[in-house]
Amino acid sequence: MLLALSSLACAKPQAVESTQSMLDSVAVGQNRCPDEDGDARPFVVEWDATDLATFEAKAGRDIVFVHYEGCEIEMLYGCSDNSVPGRYGAYERPVFTSGTVESFEIHDQAELWAKLPLGAEAVGAQVSAGSTLELQYYVSGTATSTRNYVERATIADNGRCDQATHFVSAYNLGAFRLLAHERDAKHSSSGVAGSKAASDSTKLKNGGDIDDCTSRTQQRCRVPIRLVLQEIDETATASDDAPKNPDADVRPDPEPAPAEDTVSARAAKLREAALAKADARDAAGCLEDLDRADALIDDDETRKQSVYIRAVCTMLTDCDAGVELFHEYIEMIDTNKEWGKYDVIAATTQRKKAYCPIEQLDPEFAATVLFERARDGARSGQPARCTEVGEQALPLVSKLDKLGSVHASTAKDAVYEVARCFSLLSRCDESKRWYVEWRMLYNKDNAPKATVKKDALEMWAKDLQSECEM
């Protein structure tokens, strides 16, 4: 999917090629995509609802890689491992913060390419026609990747990653609106930039609802509006046969480590980072941090913690192996034999619900897990998690129906919870879609789909619409 367009110079027909060198010597050429050779923070004003949904779905599973060059950004959604979610990294749960509405104006092509390079060609006509553009935006939170860097060697075995130049190391959530103000003709002719008639404004584009950003819930102020792109690390890594230095692949922190920093403190930070990666479903990153921590300190006390962390990291890809490690952890801490059979079952079940892949769980148990994960997606403000639950629940319903299991109703309830999840997140179109899917599951009389959909939308209006529009 190509989301941005080529530079102004490249967009010109051949008849004006002679102006290329002159263009590059003035502000438009000098400021065009000024950060494309390093880390960049482009706004994604080009994206429509489909682009947003696709990005959120992919970011809910894996780090997103891109090819970013010459004011063009191509999302490389194929640069992932379908069998191992989060193999190259994932995103932690968004951290929501208070903020305020910010804005900036664009008066000419030079400012347009400097401030909104990805949307420059789409809205450049308004600037050329004499309008002043104003981008108003509100950042309500940030989702950060679990990886501080990604080396080329990490993705070298995946041909679908060959074109990757950057990865999305973080993305801002919030809302924006792009306005075009018609400059007052009198001031425009006199060269006064930015003068505009208050009544002559047009909304060109919006993402989310910026008016909702100051509400208590901010539910319509949580769409991706800006990306933080970080270059792929091209540093060569040592051969696998070379002696391993536990600190060799640890990149230096942006600031020097404090004087009181010790080996044990660094190991503790690595274990904390490993747990955070497990919660973000980054199994590989979790194990890498844990291995580095164990290489620094491996004693009786830290070994217990390491076995627990290794258990939940392993559960993300191999549920049974992770459960075995978790039972090993219980044996290590239960020195007085105080844990009863049901204590072990309860603790194990809790971890399986949180970490194990759905396809590796007993189908009847999986129905309950999906129901709870849908509710968690709403609580944590993660629409991608809700979509994932819905896509897993639909085939599970069919499987349980064929088995004649009473738990099929729980799987159906999970689909309803997906619809409610999107309603609570004020994503009304997606809420309607999943509500219709839920009602289709009860179409035992094989009524025409159009009839079921019509009835479902009427029921949605009575059931979830008020909640969705809060």
- Mean pLDDT to the nearest integer, 313-323: 95
Q: What is the mean pLDDT of the chain?
A: 81
Flag whether 342 is in a domain: yes
Flag whether 444 is in a domain: yes
Tokens of 176: 């924006």
Judge if pTM exceeds 0.85: no
Reported as type and span, the H/E element at residue 123 is: helix 120-128
Indicate if the pLDDT at residue 194 is higher than 80.
no
The answer to whether residues 432 and 457 touch, using CB atoms and an 8 Å cutoff, is yes
Per DSSP, helices labelled H in 190-318 are: 263-279, 283-296, 300-315
Question: 416 is in which domain, residue-wise?
Answer: 358-468
Q: What is the pLDDT of residues 52-81, one digit of tens each?
A: 888 988 898 899 999 998 778 899 999 998
- Of the ranges 36-45, 97-106, 187-196, 270-279, which is most confident? 270-279
Q: Quote the pLDDT of residue 221.
A: 86
| Closest of 391, 385, 381 to residue 373, by C-alpha | 385
Residues 343 and 392 in one domain: no
- Expressed in angstroms, the distance from the first to the final Cα of the chain is 33
The answer to whether residues 285 and 86 touch, using CB atoms and an 8 Å cutoff, is yes
Residues 393 and 313 in one domain: no
Residues 206 and 330 in one domain: no
Indicate if the pLDDT at residue 50 is higher than 70.
yes
Residues 329 and 371 in one domain: no
| Amino acid at position 192, single letter | V
Reported as type and span, the H/E element at residue 424 is: helix 408-424
Domain count of the chain?
Answer: 3
| Amino acid at position 300, single letter | D
Residues 368 and 438 in one domain: yes
| Amino acid at position 220, single letter | R
Flag whether 389 is in a domain: yes
**HSE (side-chain half, CA atoms, 13 Å) at 4:** 26
Residues 42 and 190 in one domain: yes
Residues 315 and 391 in one domain: no
Helices then strands, counting H and E runs in the chain, come out as: 19, 8
Q: What is the pLDDT of residues 337-379, one digit of tens each?
A: 999 999 999 999 999 999 999 999 999 999 999 999 988 888 8
DSSP line for 146-205: S-S--BHHHHTT-GGGTT--EEEEEEEEEEEEEEEEEPPHHHHHTT-TT---TT-EEEEE
Q: What is the pLDDT of residues 1-16, one digit of tens each?
A: 444 333 323 333 333 3
Q: What is the pLDDT of residues 294-314, one digit of tens each?
A: 999 888 889 999 999 999 999
Residues 378 and 419 in one domain: yes
- Of the ranges 135-144, 228-237, 238-247, 439-448, which is most confident? 135-144
- Mean pLDDT to the nearest integer, 192-209: 65
Flag whether 259 is in a domain: no
Q: Quote the pLDDT of residue 27.
A: 36
